[in-house]
Amino acid sequence: MKDPIKVFGNVGSPYTQKILALLRYRNIPYTVSWGDVVHNLSLLKIEPPKPVLLPTIVLKNNDGKNICKTDTTPIIRYLEEINKTKSVIPHHPVLNFLNYLLEDFADEWTTKYMFHYRWHFEQDAENAKKMLVLQHKLNIDNELMEQFSEAIADRQINRLWVVGSNNETENLIDQSYKRYLKLLESHLTISTFMFGQRPSSADFGMYGQLSQLVGFDPTPRDIAYKISPRTISWVNILSDLSGLHNKGGIGEFFGIDNNKDTDSELNYFKDNDSGWFDVNSIPKSLLDIFNEIGRVYIPCLFANARAFDNGDKIWETKIDNAVWKQKTFPYQAKCLKWIKDEFNKLSEDNKEITLQILKGSGCEKILN
């Protein structure tokens, strides 16, 4: 890759943080422009994509022309095609699928934690409305800052119901977040990353949301410090894994003894065949995370897809014995389809292995 990738995003965007951390890990050169994406693209005479999402990346195709890409999941897969080193996609088809499902959960469900805490609680909303304006334009005068801050807060608080955050679901979201932190605390005691000794795209999806939950918003940060100090440390480290390679830059944090001659063991940072869990011995701590996915996210996907198919603008269902009501998202209907598409790419044998791994979690319901 001759030219650095141009990233256009926002500091407070978990998806921007997701892709930047991944680019750093993979040692892919990039530049980042903060602020208004359309404005920043216009300065470079680049036509913005439709729709404009955070982040938007710009890179050159084989003809040397600028192309814009949005949506981090397909961006990551595209980067795998054009850059083969330090892959974040597990080589085994079953692990590849599980990674896809976990990344989708991080992007589409744990973002509900982030949005809920950021705008449901007064102290968090006070923090977010000012920080988001200042991160957009640092030298804005105080009067304009107050005007824009109030406008942002009003818009986002009025959108809480869209993602399902309200007084009825407040406890459900809070309890799911706390379980999630406990599950991560347990898993990180035995593995530095979700699928073994190297980070996957799911790790970066989880990092993106957690970068806000433990690094930006006061209430979920306080909760995380009490429940999962390992998650706090993991998020801090995952922000920059550029030094994680086959020689050095690793250290005891990653469970590797640098005093040994480990060159042959560490080649998996160049190759994609090593460093992942054996599909036949996935730890219970990871399976427990999939139980949480089946408990809260899968019912959401089902209900949203039914509403979309029926043309309903709002849907309601029971999630974890609580009433959940929100706006129908066409994108999440696509998410369900894409998960099924990924599953259907598997051989019959690998489908059976996947179903056995997920048996009883609730995740298998969307695959049958």
The DSSP annotation for 84-109 comes to -SS--S-SSHHHHHHHHHHHHHHHHT
Angle at the Cα of 10 from the Cα atoms of 239 and 135, rounded to 5 degrees: 105
Going by C-beta distance under 8 Å and a sequence separation of 6 or more, which residues neighbour residue 102? Answer: 194, 200, 202, 205, 206, 289, 290, 293
CA 363/CA 299 separation, integer angstroms: 9
CA 217/CA 11 separation, integer angstroms: 13
Per-residue model confidence (pLDDT) at position 249: 47
CA 228/CA 245 separation, integer angstroms: 27
Every domain range in the chain assigned CATH 3.40.30.10: 5-82
Every domain range in the chain assigned CATH 1.20.1050: 112-160+174-269
Report the SS3 class of residue 124.
helix
When pLDDT is averaged across residues 346-357 and rounded to a whole number, the result is: 98
Per-residue model confidence (pLDDT) at position 227: 98
Q: What is the pLDDT of residues 50-108, one digit of tens each?
A: 888 999 999 988 788 889 999 999 999 999 999 988 899 999 999 999 999 999 999 99
Percent of the residues in the chain that have a pLDDT greater than 70, as a whole number? 92
Residue with tokens 């990233």: 7
Q: Is the pLDDT of residue 275 over 60?
A: yes
CB 40 within 8 A of CB 25: no
Choice among 27-36, 82-91, 162-171, 259-268 with the minimum mean pLDDT: 259-268
When pLDDT is averaged across residues 283-287 and rounded to a whole number, the result is: 98
Q: Is the pLDDT of residue 254 over 70?
A: no
When pLDDT is averaged across residues 278-290 and rounded to a whole number, the result is: 97
Per-residue model confidence (pLDDT) at position 256: 53
- Please check whether the domain covering 112-160+174-269 is classified as CATH 1.20.1050: yes
pLDDT-derived band at 274, boundaries 50, 70, 90? confident
Q: Which CATH superfamily is domain 5-82 in?
A: Glutaredoxin (3.40.30.10)
Q: Is the pLDDT of residue 248 over 50?
A: no
Q: Is the peptide bond before 74 cis (omega within 30 degrees of 0)?
A: no
When pLDDT is averaged across residues 249-257 and rounded to a whole number, the result is: 52
